[in-house]
Structure 1
Amino acid sequence: MASVTDTPLVIGVTGLNAIENPGPGLSVIRSLREGFPNVRIIGLAYESLEPGIYLHNLVDKTYLIPYPSAGSDALLQRLQHIQAIEGMDIIIPNFDAELQNFIKISPELQKAGIRTVLPTHKQLEACSKPNLAAFGKQYGFSVPKTVSISTVDELQVAADELNYPLVVKGKFYEAEVTYTAYQAQNAFYRLSAKWGTPIIVQQFVKGTEINVAGLGDGKGNTLSIIPMRKLYITDKGKAWAGITIADDKLLDIAQQFTAATKWHGGFELELMQDKAGELFIMEINPRFPAWIYLTAAAGQNQPVALAKMALGEQVEPLTDYQVGKMFIRYALDHIADVSEFQHFSAFGELGP
């Protein structure tokens, strides 16, 4: 088989939002363009104001796709329509909320010629926020005490068990550190209205925030691991700057995770290291993080490795990376014509 780098590729990518809580899509696309000179990027967007739609230097053409709440059948029908036009080789989903649908339709996508690299429903459920505490107990990972609740009345019971401050987390995204019952209740109402229930209430752990981006081969092996320490954190708890670090304990945790789960695809471990040096897993994200371009800059281009996996190439484990590589996120006003916005809103597609 010829190297995929010699073959023009068409890759669909979701997660094109680039707001204060950015999706991974644009970072994935930057990584892919560095690895595949001939790649054509098809953006898959949920809303008309996702910035990636209008960044034509990164995204060649964008199509509107139905919200995850519309179900897997609606998604499949839309992607089959897009496939008839574009002939996509690969799709890389980048949102937690959409993964259930993509996993469900992956056999049909395969029949249509679209390859994916995704975890199974069982893997996804085992590592979900509501099940994280049980996952940690089963496999010997340190996880803060966690309670899943569905009503605000259960919040007081959780607070009595865990004590303030508490971290109140949405089912898919967002978290707030709360110090009083009033703050916790406000967080519950806001997050449940946005993401639904259950809401996750977690013991607060003070320390240094560290994230690890990894890639599993589905057989228990880790093909790439890049640890990053957060240097600047937004009010939403997102890394706005970070630096690659060297720590064998972090590599070991990532390897233990893939060995335990036989994870297939990209993942992110969100960790907190307390003053005693103990590492707690705060969250497991079942896809690439928004800072994934740092892996390419550090010498392990994880999105490119995943694309090669999707196409059946043998990917050898990547072991070396540059320590001290930093990313600093920034805001930029991109100028677009209203006619583009109107066209995409009306027709659900934009580009040549």
Structure 2
Amino acid sequence: MYDAVVLDAALRQSLVSIRSLGKQGLKVAALEAENRVPAFASRWCRQGIVCPSVAGTDDYLAFLEQWLEHSGARVVIASSDSTVALLRQHRERLEKQVKIALARDPALRIAINKEATLEVARQLGLAIPRGVTINAPDEVSAALKEIGLPAVLKPVESWLWDEQQGGGVRFASRLVTTEDEAQRAAEELTYLGGTILLQQFLTGRREAISIMYANREVHAIFAQWARRTEPQLGGTSVLRQSIAVPSDIGAQSERLIREIDLEGYAEVEFRRDQAGIPYLMEINPRLSASVEIAVRSGVDFPHLLYQWANGGKIDTVRSYRVGKWMRYLKGDIMTTIEALQKRGRPGITPPLQAVRDFTFSFFQPMYYDYIDWNDLTPAIKASTEFTFEWVGGAIAKRLSRIKRSSS
């Protein structure tokens, strides 16, 4: 009998959830559609389950249902767009077996849709980026005349189903500096029939508010800012710091969550402009990749989420430690490489500054993702796999160049 099963075990936030619940004395299993998963090696992972099917598919669902029937797990926690979509679609059926740590519709439907989220924010008086909705690539030219360049193209919903491939596709935001770039990005982002937003490009500080909300009550609120992200535009934070909740975006986030009535965990992202005015970017209604900085600072969101989903008493957290740094080293390496490869583009740190900042960060006291001195095996496994991938990729590129030069 398991207390919880954590899906998407390959994600960083899933390892955080396993450790968080395990340290509370709960029995936790983890499931992923591959076996090279550092989280499986955690001392608090009672069972690592390898699903033979791609996440989000009917076969994945059938495997999960069969495992739930035999395991008796009480709560399921998901952290990826594909599994969230799957749980939404089959929620009524799955909840006959397990409790799902995920907000309900219509609140969840609003939160995963940027256009719907921004409309609610606009009605509440929050600042939102100037933007135009695009349904087809031929609408790009007119949209650019209204928004200007550089601009950001992003999907209204980050995850779409691809019937031909039999799986889901996740789309990330794109910075465009020319009309040709915008046209190509729009063609890629709309090929599955999705809608995209063309928004003004904001370069100020990126801040996020994490909230645990249930039964009309905020049980915890936490703030962080991202010094570096991967990729540098709209990516996950790879170097972040806990900060006191800013009065402006703290109040705005709470108003937004209450208006939508979005229960469970949510991360509300903002980007400030050069004048310091915060603009709402989006809401992530699932455990975010950066959640470990909150846990290390004293706000155990995975455990709060479990308490809520399990129907028990939810703890209330009134304070946390500010000024704590946390770094995702693999992501920071990739961010630095991106700065070297894309030098000169808007929003990209100059190469020399990027290398200097990356190096100096080693002298800053901070936590590192994956590293828990009471549970080191996942960090060792993640580092080993990254090293082999890095070396293997370099060798493959070298052999490819030799082959081309000899032909």
- Could you say which TM-score interval applies, normalised by the shorter chain? 0.7 to 0.9
**Contact 2:118 / 2:280 at 8 angstroms: preserved in 1?**
no
Given residue 265 of structure 1, which amino acid in structure 2 is its aligned partner? G
Map Cα deviations across residues 14-53 of structure 1 (whole Å, 9 max, x no partner). Answer: 23335xxxx632233233233x23422222x24x366346
Is the aligned partner of 1:233 residue 2:261?
no
Native 8 Å contact 1:222 1:254 kept in 2:
no
Following superposition, the deviation at residue 82 of structure 1 comes to 0.6
- The separation in 1 between residues aligned to 2:80 and 2:385, in whole angstroms, is 26
Q: Check conservation: 1:133, 1:146, Cα contact below 8 A.
A: no
Deviation at 1:104, TM superposition (A): 3.7
Change beyond 3 A, Cα 1:294–1:142: same
Q: 1:196, 1:293 → 2: CA distance? A: 35
Within a 5 Å distance, the mapping from 1:257-336 to structure 2 comes to 257-331=256-330, 332-334=382-384
The match for 1:31 is 20
Deviations 1:240-274 (A, max 9, x none): 01001112223212211221111111111110122
The one of 46, 51, 58 equivalent to 2:37 is 51
CA contact (8 A) 1:220 1:260 kept: no
Residue in 2 that maps onto 1:118: 102
Q: Which runs of 5+ in 2 are unaligned?
A: 159-170, 331-381, 387-407
The separation in 2 between residues aligned to 1:235 and 1:166, in whole angstroms, is 16
Shift in Å, 1:135: 2.0
**What residue in structure 2 maps to residue 174 of structure 1?**
172
Match of 1:41 among 29, 42, 57: 29
Tell me which amino acid in the other structure corresponds to 2:146: E
Matched residues in 2 for 1:118 and 1:54: separation? Answer: 23
Aligned equivalents of 2:271, 2:314: Cα separation in 1 = 30
Distance 1:323 1:169 in 2: 32
Counterpart residue number, 1:340: none
What secondary structure does 2:269 align onto?
strand
Q: Equivalents in 1 of 2:22, 2:277: separation in Å?
A: 38
Partner amino acid, structure 2, of 1:288:
L
SS at 1:37 equivalent: coil
> Identity, % of aligned pairs?
21
**What's the CA shift for 1:133?**
2.9
Matched, 1:198 2:184: no
Amino acid at match of 1:321: Y
- How far apart are the structure 2 equivalents of 1:282 and 1:39? 36
Secondary structure of 2:103's counterpart equals: coil
Question: May I ask how many residue pairs the two structures share in their alignment?
Answer: 317
Which one of the candidate residues 149, 153, 160 is aligned to 1:164? 149
Q: Indicate the RMSD between aligned Cα atoms, in angstroms.
A: 2.5
What is the deviation of 1:68? 5.9
Mean Cα displacement is larger for which, 297-306 or 204-213?
204-213
Deviation for aligned residue 1:335: 5.3
Cα distance, 1:276 vs. partner?
Answer: 2.3
Given the superposition, is the C-alpha separation of residues 229 and 272 from structure 1 closer, same or farther in structure 2, using an over 3 Å criterion? Answer: same
Q: Is residue 2:5 matched to residue 1:12?
A: yes
The separation in 1 between residues aligned to 2:61 and 2:9, in whole angstroms, is 19
Is the CA contact 1:227–1:250 (under 8 Å) kept in the aligned structure 2? no
Q: List alignment gaps of at least 5 residues for structure 1.
A: 1-7, 337-352
1:189 and 2:176 are equivalent in the alignment:
no
Maintained 8 Å contact 1:223/1:315: yes
Deviation at 1:139, TM superposition (A): 2.4
Q: Would you say the 8 A contact 1:10–1:42 is kept in 2?
A: no
State the one-letter code of the partner of 1:229: W
Which residue identity does 1:333 align to in structure 2?
S
Higher relative contact order (CA 8 A, sep 6+): 1
What do residues 81-100 of structure 1 show as CA deviations (whole Å, max 9, x unaligned)? 01123221110111233323
Mapped to 2, the partners of 1:279 and 1:177 lie a distance apart of 20
Matched to 1:251, the amino acid is: G
Cross-structure match for 1:221: 217
Paired residues of 1:221 and 1:262 also in contact (CA < 8 A): no
TM-score of the pair, normalised by structure 1: 0.81
Give the corresponding residue for 1:70: 57
Aligned to 2:79: 94
Q: Which residue of 2 aligns with 1:210?
A: 207
